[in-house]
Amino acid sequence: MSVQTLYTAATGMEAMQTKLDVIANNLANMNTTAFKRDRANFEDLLYRNEVYPGIQDALQNPTPVGVEIGLGTRVQSTQKDYQQGTIEQTGRELDIAIEGRGFFEVTDPVTSAPMYTRAGNLDVNALGQLVIGSAQTGRLLNPPISIPQDATAIVINPNGQVMIRQVGQTQLTQAGDIQMATFINPDGLLKVGENMYQATDASGQVLNGQPGQTGLGILRQGSLEKSNVEPVREMIDLITTQRGFELNSQAIQAGDQILQQIANLRR
């Protein structure tokens, strides 16, 4: 039936529109620190089975195939791609990149709930505490680390040790340790914006540890992780998605023309 063609092709256009939204967000965040691209997955819908496979034919033998007509597609899920982004050297002592698995754990000042990020553009607030460098919300690293006002140098080791040199001293002293967090299913984390993730039942319990241990990555001071969005790859996906949208619209036009011809038969 050409009427079913209209509805089936419409599901394809809707699915392609969602994929376009995902691609547009990836491209918009191609320069966002430590951004992880998303991928849209699809699944087919129910089928109208006019003849079931395996029914008996005239000779009482099971047929090898049937007649199944699909009813379209829909978005199954969107998954995050946690592939490592390029490590870019900045030379700034409070910029930290994670090389490998893991997240920084921070505390939201409004809800006091833990949040997670891979963006290591740190700064020091008015109280001398290390926070994420954001003009919207100053989220403290967890556990908190304070930098004395007279600190003249800050050294962050790959294993997370934060060392400082103060006025009149030649030796470095330890100010604290940066811990990292990981999850058994990072795809289950909830993106909430501002480079932040929240744990969910799907992500599992948070596992904390020192950088470089229990499968966690190491830290690179004076560097930031760039977005893992590849513009050329996204542009190719954009073109194929656009063509898919156009082909589904043409299927709708073909179904409409068939209906028009059927209607004209009554004249």
What digits encode the pLDDT tens for the residues 231-252? Answer: 999 999 999 999 999 999 999 8
CA distance 185 to 182: 9
Structure tokens belonging to residue 74: 């829909």
Count Cβ atoms within 10 A of the Cβ of residue 156 and give its class: 0-12 exposed, 13-18 middle, 19 or more buried: buried
Q: What is the mean pLDDT of the chain?
A: 91
Q: Are residues 69 and 143 in the same domain?
A: no
Pairing status of strand 140-141 against strand 103-107: antiparallel
Q: How many separate domains does the chain show?
A: 2
- Predicted confidence at residue 100, as pLDDT, reads 94
- Mean pLDDT in residue range 91-97: 95
Domain match, 112 and 64 both = no
The whole-number pLDDT of residue 44 equals: 92
Q: What is the pLDDT of residues 213-227, one digit of tens each?
A: 988 999 999 999 999
Are residues 75 and 149 part of one domain?
Answer: no
77, amino acid identity: S
Task: Report the Cα 265 to chain-centroid distance in Å.
Answer: 53
Q: Are residues 95 and 135 in the same domain?
A: yes
Same domain, 198 and 97: yes
Token code pair at residue 122: 């740190």
Say whether both 217 and 92 belong to one domain.
Answer: yes
pLDDT digits (tens, 9 = 90+) for 165-212: 988 888 899 999 999 999 999 999 999 999 999 999 999 999 999 999
Tell me, yes or no, whether 117 and 213 share the same domain: yes
Reply yes or no: is the peptide bond before residue 143 cis, omega within 30 of 0: yes
Phi-psi region at 65: left, alpha or beta (left = phi > 0; alpha = psi -120 to 50) = beta
Confidence bin at 2 (pLDDT 50/70/90) = low
How confident is the model over 99-134, as pLDDT tens digits?
999 999 999 888 889 999 999 999 999 999 999 988
pLDDT given at position 262: 79
Closest by CA to 36, choosing from 85, 77, 76, is 85
What is the per-residue pLDDT across 43-83, written as a single tens digit (0 to 9) for each?
Answer: 999 888 888 888 887 778 888 888 888 899 999 999 999 99
Strands 73-80 vs 161-166: parallel, antiparallel or unpaired = unpaired
Identify each DSSP E strand in 157-201 by its residue range: 161-166, 173-177, 180-182, 190-193, 196-198
Co-location of 209 and 148 in the same domain = yes
Give the pLDDT of residue 260: 83
Domain of residue 103, residue span: 87-225
Whether 134 and 106 map to the same domain: the answer is: yes
pTM exceeding the 0.75 threshold for the entire prediction: yes
Measure the CA–CA gap between 76 and 191, rounded to whole angstroms: 18
Band (pLDDT 50/70/90 cuts) for residue 144 is very high
Same structural domain, 160 and 36: no
Kindly give, in sequence order, each residue whose CB lies less than 8 Å from that of residue 74, ignoring residues fewer than 6 positions away: 11, 14, 15, 42, 43, 45
220 and 150 inside one domain: yes
The answer to whether residue 1 scores a pLDDT higher than 60 is no
Q: What is the structure's pLDDT at 101?
A: 95
Same domain for 132 and 30: no
